[in-house]
């Protein structure tokens, strides 16, 4: 397309967006919800929601946990960012979780939560999420809703097409948004086409240990790889990745990466890739990256530094990867419950292209190729396309499925969800959302057996939907009933951070496995205190270790003397409670990092470095009983050259 035509298209699109936002805001943003609709989202006091909803926290680096249909926010799961509410990333036990080859990085940009699956259905064991900026994949244990593993991904930049799971969670797949020199090198930016490459990574989940391992990577041409989904059923052995910027531009991508009429979906046969790895076709490449894991018995995080990764080159591995031509700048790629249809969301396309897996296999067998790129065959579009959805809205991005033969696609520019029928490709319904929807989510909507019932719109802009809070307004989700012939708006609710993707699962799957407390006898923390009789303070040079217990409603010890300016004081606090929902908090006046929040039966540690002589109170920060205010103590800090003896006690100064 000529430059002038491209600029005209951009101007027209922007004008349409402005008009749509103004019109919808003025005409429809104040629509009242009827009493009947309100009753559908009401969850009575003491009753439970039907689904858990997990939303990405975007630039917060975390995950938000909500109930559906109420939209109530239950928890923010700490993943890639420090959290002073819990001490995550500040406590001695969790600092290692945020280590990378670039050092300690206490934040990231988290986009795509993805539930673990068994036979293509969410099983409630884990949820994974990507770190987009510093390429990482995290695993959250859904028994505890705590992050237990983070794997850094080398040879990657912008870990966006991540972390989508295969049908039995054999692999978590990931790919690069930004291509870079591999291995990294100081090269001119103008040498993009010659020197820049992408990678597709396969992270294995060991079925016995449930530990992650970066199994192998595939070097791919230097495009931008955007989103992914793995196959299911007949397409079980495959994973699909959208890519754009097949022009391989490195400047003004809004124009220069939109010239080609078609970009690609990369179809990767991971079973074939496995075979090539076993046959020794993968080359070892030097690459430093961190594998961080949290030991749930020791309540402590550890880091393993890896030094190499196995890399496959498509030129050496025929049959491993193919390109499916796809109309104009595809964003999402989604596989229907049957595993037959592969739906792409072309941001700039006028149709929704739907590829057929069976036609793709036939085209491969019959070698219906339209050239190749760096050893990767390009299949003929007409040979693999099953159909095109006409009039899909402006800016189609993502599609999910209700399990009843219908698909739902988000349209970013026209701010709507479009419902269409699989097989006939006919649009049967559409509903406006407010405003600029990105992803959407149906409970189980990317699995073999969706729960259906609702679709959740994850909107980028709220404008006039909520009370104003200055220049920055909350992002939002909207709950829509899809049980009838027509979609029906039920609820708006704000979300943590910027919502990208979300996943929802039936609540009873998670509730039955939920951890209520940690058994104190199973606590293997190296600084655990089994009871108040073991509470003590030990000095080793300038390091002071306080072995402390917490129980309703006192600490032991609760008076400490003999601490000196310049000491490194480690408080190791064991919560002796063995009851559900009785955490204890701990903080000292002037502490420069954060508090601790210690779950029942758990031990956590925090470092305090006193800088001035004086008396410093410490206290429980989490309300635990009627005598919560009385749960406190004091630390006396003396000058560095003082001779004040080390004394610690609870109740009387006799214990030393």
| 377-391 confidence digits (pLDDT tens) | 999 999 999 999 999
User: Do residues 37 and 488 touch, judged by C-beta distance below 8 A?
Assistant: yes
Give the residues of the chain that fall short of pLDDT 50.
Answer: 1-32, 656
Which pLDDT belongs to residue 499? Answer: 84
Which pLDDT belongs to residue 34? Answer: 62
Which pLDDT belongs to residue 36? Answer: 84
Which pLDDT belongs to residue 22? Answer: 39
Encoded tokens for 596: 């601790």
What are the Cα distances from residue 90, in Å, to 95, 105, 134, 310, 585? 6, 12, 19, 34, 14
88-100 residue pLDDT tens: 999 999 999 999 9
Burial of 601 (0-12, 13-18, 19+ CB in 10 A): buried
Which pLDDT belongs to residue 7? Answer: 41
Backbone angles phi, psi at 275, to 5 degrees: -60, -45
Element (H, E) at 11: helix 3-27
Which pLDDT belongs to residue 35? Answer: 65
Q: What is the DSSP string of 133-181?
A: TTTEEEEEETTTTEEEEEEE-SS-SS--S--EE-TTSSEEEEE-SS-EE
Which pLDDT belongs to residue 497? Answer: 84
């Amino acid at each position: 397309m000529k430059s002038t035509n491209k600029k005209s298209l951009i101007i027209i699109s922007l004008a349409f967006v402005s008009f749509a936002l103004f019109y919808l805001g003025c005409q429809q943003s104040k629509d009242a919800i009827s009493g009947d609709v309100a009753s559908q989202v009401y969850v009575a006091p003491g009753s439970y929601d039907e689904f858990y909803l997990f939303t990405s926290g975007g630039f917060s680096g975390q995950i938000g946990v909500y109930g559906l249909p109420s939209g109530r926010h239950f928890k923010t799961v700490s993943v890639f960012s420090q959290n002073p509410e819990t001490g995550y990333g500040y406590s001695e036990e969790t600092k290692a979780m945020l280590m990378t080859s670039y050092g300690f990085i206490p934040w990231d940009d988290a986009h795509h939560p993805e539930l673990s699956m068994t036979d293509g259905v969410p099983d409630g064991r884990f949820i994974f999420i990507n770190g987009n900026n510093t390429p990482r994949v995290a695993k959250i244990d859904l028994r505890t809703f705590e992050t237990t593993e983070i794997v850094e991904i080398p040879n990657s930049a912008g870990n966006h097409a991540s972390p989508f799971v295969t049908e039995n969670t054999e692999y978590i797949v990931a790919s690069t948004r930004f291509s870079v020199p591999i291995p990294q090198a100081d090269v001119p930016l103008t040498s993009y086409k010659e020197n820049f490459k992408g990678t597709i990574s396969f992270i294995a989940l060991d079925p016995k240990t449930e530990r992650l391992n970066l199994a192998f990577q595939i070097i791919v041409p230097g495009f931008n790889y955007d989103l992914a989904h793995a196959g299911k059923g007949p397409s079980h052995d495959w994973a699909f990745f959208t890519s754009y910027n097949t022009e391989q531009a490195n400047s003004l991508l809004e124009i220069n990466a939109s010239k080609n009429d078609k970009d690609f979906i990369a179809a990767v046969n991971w079973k074939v890739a496995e075979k090539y790895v076993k046959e020794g076709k993968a080359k070892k490449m030097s690459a430093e990256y961190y594998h961080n894991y949290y030991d749930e018995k020791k309540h402590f995080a550890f880091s393993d530094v890896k030094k190499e990764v196995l890399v496959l080159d498509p030129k050496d591995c025929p049959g491993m990867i193919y390109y499916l031509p796809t109309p104009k700048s595809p964003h999402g790629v989604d596989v229907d419950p049957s595993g037959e249809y592969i739906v792409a969301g072309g941001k700039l396309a006028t149709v929704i292209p739907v590829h057929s897996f069976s036609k793709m296999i036939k085209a491969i067998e019959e070698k219906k190729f339209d050239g190749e790129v760096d050893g990767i065959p390009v299949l003929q579009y007409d040979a693999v396309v099953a159909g095109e959805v006409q009039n899909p809205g402006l800016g189609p991005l993502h599609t999910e499925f209700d399990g009843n033969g219908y698909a739902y696609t988000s349209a970013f520019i026209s701010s709507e969800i479009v419902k269409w029928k699989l097989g006939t490709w006919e649009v049967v319904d559409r509903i406006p959302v407010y405003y600029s929807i990105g992803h959407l989510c149906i409970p189980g909507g990317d699995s073999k057996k969706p729960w259906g019932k609702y679709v959740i719109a994850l909107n980028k802009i709220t404008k006039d939907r909520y009370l104003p809070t200055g220049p920055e307004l909350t992002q939002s989700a909207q709950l829509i009933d899809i049980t009838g012939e027509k979609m029906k708006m039920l609820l708006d609710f704000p979300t943590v951070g910027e919502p990208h993707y979300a996943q929802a699962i039936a609540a009873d799957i998670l509730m039955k496995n939920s951890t209520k407390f940690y058994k104190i006898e199973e606590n293997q923390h190296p600084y655990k205190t089994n009871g108040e009789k073991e509470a003590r303070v030990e000095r080793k040079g300038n390091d002071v270790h306080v072995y402390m217990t917490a129980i309703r409603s006192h600490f032991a010890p609760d008076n400490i003397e003999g601490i000196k300016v310049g000491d490194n004081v480690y408080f190791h606090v064991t919560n002796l409670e063995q009851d559900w929902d009785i955490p204890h908090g701990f903080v000292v006046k002037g502490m420069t990092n954060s508090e601790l929040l210690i779950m029942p039966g758990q031990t956590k540690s925090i470092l305090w470095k006193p800088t001035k002589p004086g008396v410093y109170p410490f206290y429980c920060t989490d309300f635990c009983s009627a005598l919560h205010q009385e749960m406190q103590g004091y630390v006396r800090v003396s000058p560095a050259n003082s001779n004040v003896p080390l004394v610690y006690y609870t109740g009387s100064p006799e214990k030393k």
